[in-house]
Amino acid sequence: MTRYRPAILAGIALVTLAATSASPSADDVQALVTRAAAYIRQYGQEQAFRDFTRPDGGFVVGELYIFCNDDHGVVLAHGGNPKLLGKSLFPIRDAEGKQPIQELNAIAHAAGQGWLEYLWPNPETGRIQHKVSYVVEVDKQTFCGSGYYKPETP
């Protein structure tokens, strides 16, 4: 009998969930991040970050993906754009002047978890859109999260 990692089976469930709704919800995002945090505890950061970044690692579903950064904004995992690995995103400002990665880092480390809305490139559409992300503190130097893009209004 073949044994599958829990992430694969949970990923199949998330794909099914995503396929049944027009766009992901806050609940979908929070469930994905919660599953990612459990995966880190079970398999360790090194394995988890590799799997989060791989399109077939069980943590990339449509526009939903896991991202992880250290406390200097350096990307440790990014399912939406693996080319960001190793780069610090702290200096990046969105069109509204927010520094989303700095703010997400502060939220994760101050409260252990939380939400933030900001502008970010959507890898599915190629456009800058409002994104609402949920992050959790992994440890005192690391946070991970995911987010959904708000539907565009004409």
pLDDT digits (tens, 9 = 90+) for 96-126: 999 999 999 999 999 999 999 999 888 778 8
Residue 118 pLDDT: 96
Domains of the chain: 6-149 (3.30.450.20)
Contacts of 78 (CB under 8 A, 6+ apart): 52, 53, 65, 66, 67, 68, 84, 85
Task: Assign 64 to helix, strand or coil.
Answer: strand
pTM here?
0.84
Average pLDDT, the chain: 88
